[in-house]
Amino acid sequence: MKTILVNALALGFAGLMAGAAVAAPEKTECLAGAKPGGGFDLTCRLAGNSLLAARLIDKPMPVTYMEGGVGAIAYNHVVGKRSSDPTLITAASSGSALLLAQGKFGQYDESAVRWVGALGADYGVIVVAADAPYKSLKDLVEAYGKAPGDFPIGGGGAVGSQDWMKGALVAKSAGQDPKKMRYVALEGGGAVLTALEGGHIKIAAGDAAEMAKHHAAGKVRILAVMSPERLPGELKDVATAREQGLDIDWVVWRGFYVGKNITDAQYQDWVDTFRKLSETPEFAQEREARGLYPYTVLGADFERDVKKDVERFKALAAEAGL
Amino acid sequence: MDLGYLWAGFSVALSPLNLAIGFTGCFLGTLIGALPAIGPINGIALLLPIAYTMGLPPESTMILLAGIYIGAEYGGRISSILLNVPGDAGAVMTALDGNPLARQGRAGEALMISGLASFVGGTLGVVGLTFFAPLLSTLAIGFGPAEYFVLMIFAFATLGSMVGSQPVKTLIGCVIGLMLATIGLDATSGAYRFTFNEPELGDGIEFVVLVIGLFSISEAMFMLEHQAKGGSVIKVAGRTFARWADIVRCIGPALRSSVIGFTVGVLPGTGASVASAVSYTTEKRLSDREGTFGKGDVRGLAAPEAANNATAAGAFVPMLTLGVPGSGTTAVMLGALMLYNIQPGPQLFAERPELIGGLIASLYIGNILLLILNLPLVRVFSRVLQLPNWVLVPGILVLSIVGVYSTHASVLAVVMMLGIGVVGWLLRKLGFDMAPIILGFVLGRVMEVNLRNALAISGGDLSILFQSTISIVLWIMAAAMALLPFVLGRLARRAAAPSPQVS
């Protein structure tokens, strides 16, 4: 008990010393628009844990959960009730941009909040069963183009979700109509794997971090990573889609937004804090522990990227007839 | 057979936290079972959100809920014997011989005999579960969307036997549940359905909101409406230790009834009330040569008690291995798993052995705890029979509102829960049972998604639903299940007992 107290005091004191240079507000809070344990929770904890470890905040950042509509409730809450609260950051992902593009966040669009920055990313992958005859994405696209009806495509989300979009990009590359794709909406990556192993689907769309270990274990085969460059680690031997002549990237970034009505200085404080954070070894460690690849885009760059994403998703959705 | 999962389960269930949680569950379950008005399903509905908000891991929550479930099967006998009012549906037959015994001044003995019979039934049931569950789960990998859909058809076919007496109302209740399940984000197309642009409805009606509304709120309204008449509680007097000769006479009936109870429990959709009725009538035919059944025969007391406790264990078999709830209570427990993002189904055994092993191990431990709790402490539990409604009803309301608000932090959720409670109360006044609604709601989404996925795979060709062996066997079983209630119903009718709602 005593040692805990002493440690806590020491930590607090150290925090106080570092506090002089800290730009983040005294009290902070992270809003996760889902249940504990989901992607938004992971994003909040990445920021919270590494900010504390790097001593950029003194007190642990509490995570508040507001489940509903894959972040829609949290978005409406921030816009409607907390738009001038400088202590609150809310977790978001490229999925949020996709939902915004499809008007699934209610009456508000992407300019109803301010986008602070992305701290990490995952990338889309195209996966087939370990015993499938296709060795490259090119083989698969060719075969798909000949008989699209033989290839049920599975993903961990509904029609219009990120996994569906990845499937649609494959269908488009094969010169087929994404609307006619046999898409199977499964519940999460685990169900996708089971369906692939059981032969119920022929192609799976997923995320690199989750599929990498199953690829390494020989349970499935990743044909391509949808990133601009090859990914480090277990997937370093998997070619990118670009290398195989298909221009289909899919970045799943994870980042944060804040209320629209905080002052420019308060916004800049968060951007500076994250910039400082992204250069610390503590952050690199936390990011790796959460299976995310390096991807840091902050401030005005991020605002522009999000808007660009939303435009791109709108175009894709229109093309796919959503 | 590989029972490694069970040993791993014991290490989960014997951790100090889970042991304490299991004990709490058993204790509360006995209390809840003893209270005439509320059964295990109400207790589970009330405690689930609290356990979830406390951040208990899924296996601990399941151990708590399972403790309440089996505890209530023990507790139900207390009010049957002392008050002649069954504490829950499974204890209806217990009153037939238990209450006459108590009137003869042998209440203490009756409680002990029934306690021992409960232990025998409960323990044998868990042994059956231990060996049965891994067998069924070996089928897991063959289950694709088409097979899941047929499995759900099978589950709905079993509904007929759940309430039996009013098949039309059961079907209507089930359709209400199915309809409620369509509210919210459609998992296949990603469209919002029936949300009226209200973001809070985006994920549909929350399970906790529905369960608490239907079971706790409507129950509280029912209790307010029908003031229980106190006063006829028989005091536990005289000797409290059963005669050795009586115990020996009960061994045969208890063993036979355990087997009947477990078998009935495994069949999805048939609850403890059917099991205890079947076992009582069987025993009456087999051993009642003197015509003493119904006048205070210890064998007539031991048989239904052993059966209803074995049923509780049997009901876990379809729930844990196939994801098909065997009763209303197990349907709520399935919903609890989904709250933790755990998809119940054939793959559960392979993916979460610690969860299933821990649950089964906790049932062994729970039965021992319950035997210890129920023999010496039975006088304490008999006290709760005198608990007045003016304490009970506000207590239930407070727990309900706190439970829902703490889970969802939303006033709309609380309002919806109250609204659903009022509708549930009206439906119950019209003679509807709540269990089919919950079953329709829990299974509806799984059924819809899998049907649409199966058709997406086949490109709209319905023949995919009849292709695999698993599907065909399930179709045949579903047809058989739809006919079974007529057979069982005839058996149960011979007992000539009114059967209240399924627990």
Q: pLDDT band for position A8 (50/70/90)?
A: very low
Q: Strand runs (DSSP E) across A261-312, as ranges?
A: 297-298
For the record, the structure tokens of B283 come out as 């025993």
> pLDDT per residue over B412-428, tens digit each?
999 999 999 999 999 98
Q: Lowest-pLDDT range, A285-289, A301-305, B158-162?
A: B158-162
Residue A7 has pLDDT above 60, yes or no: no
Instruction: Tokens for B72, please give them.
Output: 């209530």
> Does the distance separating the beta carbons of B144 and A195 come in below 8 Å?
yes
Residue B448 CB coordination number (10 Å)? 18
Which of B93, B112, B94, B110 lies closest to B102, judged by CA? B110
Residue B95 vs residues A84, B322, B362: alpha-carbon distances, Å: 65, 34, 29
The DSSP code sequence of A84-112 is: T-TTEEEEEEHHHHHHHHTTTTTT--GGG
**Strand B184-185 vs strand A88-93: parallel, antiparallel, or unpaired?**
unpaired
Radius of gyration of chain B (CA): 22
Provide the strand spans (E) within A250-307.
251-259, 297-298
The pLDDT profile of chain B, 503 residues, written as one tens digit per residue, is 567 788 888 998 999 999 999 999 999 999 888 887 677 888 888 888 888 888 888 899 999 999 999 999 898 888 888 888 776 777 878 888 888 888 888 888 889 999 999 999 999 999 999 988 877 766 666 778 898 899 888 878 876 655 455 778 888 988 999 999 999 888 787 788 898 877 788 788 988 899 889 988 988 888 888 765 554 667 776 667 778 888 888 999 999 999 999 988 887 666 677 788 888 888 888 887 788 888 888 999 999 999 999 998 988 888 888 787 767 788 888 888 878 877 777 777 777 888 888 999 999 999 999 999 888 888 788 877 777 878 888 888 998 898 888 877 789 999 999 999 999 999 989 988 887 888 888 888 888 988 998 998 888 899 999 988 889 998 998 888 777 766 766 776 666 554 444 44
Give the whole-angstrom CA distance, residue B453 versus residue B456. Answer: 5
β-pairing, B184-185 vs A113-129, is unpaired
Going from the N-terminus, what domains does chain A have, and what CATH number goes with each?
29-122+251-320 (3.40.190.150), 123-244 (3.40.190.10)
| Closest approach of B16 to chain A, Cα-based (Å) | 21
Please state, in angstroms and rounded to a whole number, the distance separating the CA atoms of residues A222 and A44: 29
> Residues of A numbered 290-309 whose beta carbons fall under 8 angstroms of chain B's beta carbons: which are they?
none
Pairwise CA distance, residues B348 & B327, whole Å:
19
Q: At what angle do helices B167-181 and B435-458 cross, to 10 degrees?
A: 60
Residue B241 is given by DSSP the state S
Contact B453 A186 (CB under 8 A): yes
Contact at CB, A187 and B347, closer than 8 angstroms: no
Over residues A6-29, the mean pLDDT reads 53
Alpha carbon dihedral A132, A133, A138, A142, in 10-degree steps, equals: -100
Tokens 């509280």 correspond to: B220
Contacts of residue B19, Cβ cutoff 8 Å, sequence gap at least 6: B13, B365
DSSP-derived 3-state class of residue B159: helix
Query: Which pLDDT band holds residue A1 (cuts at 50, 70, 90)?
Result: very low
3-state secondary structure of A221: strand
pTM exceeds 0.90: no
pLDDT given for residue A23 in this prediction = 61
Mean pLDDT score across all residues of chain A: 87
Q: How far is A181 from chain B (nearest CA, A)?
A: 9
Amino acid at A19: G
Strand A183-185 relative to strand A153-155: parallel, antiparallel, unpaired?
Answer: parallel
State pLDDT tens for residues B230-276: 546 677 766 677 788 888 889 999 999 999 999 888 876 666 777 88
- Please report the DSSP string for B417-456 in residue order: HHHHHHHHHHHHHTT--SHHHHHHHHHHHHHHHHHHHHHH
- CB count within 10 Å of CB B232 equals 10
Q: Which two tokens stand for residue A207?
A: 């995320």
Q: What percent of chain A has pLDDT over 90?
A: 62
Are the beta carbons of A253 and A123 closer than 8 angstroms? Answer: no
Number of CB atoms found within 10 A of residue A83's CB: 17
Q: Hey, which residues does B192 pair with through a beta bridge?
A: B185
Nearest to B344 by CA among B442, B246, B274, B451: B442
pLDDT of residue B123: 94
Specify the pLDDT at position A19: 40
Q: What is the pLDDT of residue B207?
A: 87
**Test mutation, B337, B351, B407, B457, chain A, max A CBs within 10 A:** B457
Q: Which of A170, A194, A189 is nearest to A181 (CA)?
A: A170
**Domain residues of chain B, as ranges?**
4-227+237-484
- The rounded distance, in Å, linking the Cα atoms of B484 and A311 is 58
Pairing assessment for the beta strands A63-65 and A29-32 based on DSSP bridges: parallel
H or E segment at B345? none
CA distance A114 to B172: 49
Nearest CA in chain A to B459: A182
Residue at token pair 């910039």: A275
Say whether pLDDT at A162 is over 60: yes
Q: Are A211 and A151 in contact (CB under 8 A)?
A: no
- Side-chain-side CA neighbours of A59 within 13 Å: the count stands at 9
Angle between helices B353-374 and B16-34 (to 10 degrees): 50
Asked if A76's CB is within 8 angstroms of B190's CB, the reply is no
Closest partner residue to A200 (CB to CB) among B351, B409, B457 is: B457
Give the distance from residue B211's alpha carbon to the nearest chain A alpha carbon, in angstroms.
19
pLDDT for A2 beyond 60: no
Residue A125 bridge partners (DSSP): A206, A225
Query: For B154-212, what is each residue's pLDDT tens digit?
Result: 878 876 655 455 778 888 988 999 999 999 888 787 788 898 877 788 788 988 899 88
Would an 8 Å CB–CB cutoff place A160 in contact with chain B?
yes
Separation of alpha carbons A261 and A267, rounded Å? 10
Q: Give me the residues of A, 138-157, that contact B with CB < 8 A.
A: 149, 152, 157
Q: How far apart are CA B79 and CA B10, in angstroms?
A: 33
Task: Give dist(CA B416, CA A75) in Å, integer.
Answer: 22
The predicted pLDDT at position B425 comes to 94
Q: In this structure, what token pair is assigned to residue B118?
A: 């409960």
Quote the minimal CA–CA distance from B312 to chain A in Å. Answer: 30
In tens, the pLDDT along A222-273 reads 999 999 999 988 899 999 999 999 989 999 999 999 999 999 999 999 999 9
The rounded distance, in Å, linking the Cα atoms of A44 and A30 is: 6
Query: Which band of pLDDT confidence, cut at 50, 70 and 90, is reported for residue A128?
Result: very high
Residue A253, helix vs strand vs coil: strand
Q: How far is Cα A314 from Cα A101, in angstroms, rounded to an integer?
A: 5
User: Predicted ipTM?
Assistant: 0.70
What is the rounded CA–CA span in Å between residue B388 and residue B391? 6
Question: How would you classify the pairing of strands A153-155 and A203-207?
Answer: parallel
More confident residue, A193 or A137: A137
Total number of residues shown for chain A: 322
A149: chain B residues, CB-CB within 8 Å: 459
Cα→Cα distances B276→B143, B155, B296, B312, Å: 34, 22, 17, 11
Kindly write down the DSSP assignment for every residue of B18-50, as one continuous string: HHHHHHHHHHHHHHHHHSSS--HHHHHHHHHHH
Q: Per-residue pLDDT tens for A65-103?
A: 887 778 888 999 999 999 999 999 999 999 999 999 988
CB atoms within 10 A of CB A18: 14
Per-residue pLDDT at B215: 86
pLDDT given for residue A4 in this prediction = 43
